[in-house]
Amino acid sequence: MPSWYAPAVDELTALDTQAKGLMQQKKSAEAAALIVKGEAMSQRLLAVPQPTLAATEAASDLDELYGRMLFSNRNYGWARLMFQKNLARWRYWKPKTPETAERLKAAEKEIADCDRNLSSG
């Protein structure tokens, strides 16, 4: 991996943690700013051939946070799109681990929640 890769993974992981904390504090505007900042980092990390599990997890966490934010704002279709990225990401991840299986299961549940809200609206 390039020399910038591991520090960028650490930075995105820290950003995810910060954004999650801000969401829990109901500071969605500040969390959204961090999520937007993390998007470019996430794309860069995933653009390398065979991204690491840590990078994929950090990108997944960012997408999941963004999806939850969209869901809480009743943007169910857009939230579903973010959760769908995680579904595809973890469905095809190799090697499968208990953690990746749990992440896949979480994405399936989040998509089902979106679908339920889309069909009732």
pTM exceeding the 0.85 threshold for the entire prediction: yes
Q: How many CA atoms lie within 13 A of 6 on its CB side?
A: 2
- Phi first, then psi, for residue 104 (nearest 5°) are -60, -45
Query: For the chain, what is the domain count?
Result: 1
Q: For the segment 35-48, what is each residue's pLDDT rounded down to a tens digit?
A: 999 999 999 999 99
Segments forming the whole domain that contains residue 99: 5-120
Q: What is the model's pLDDT at position 121?
A: 59
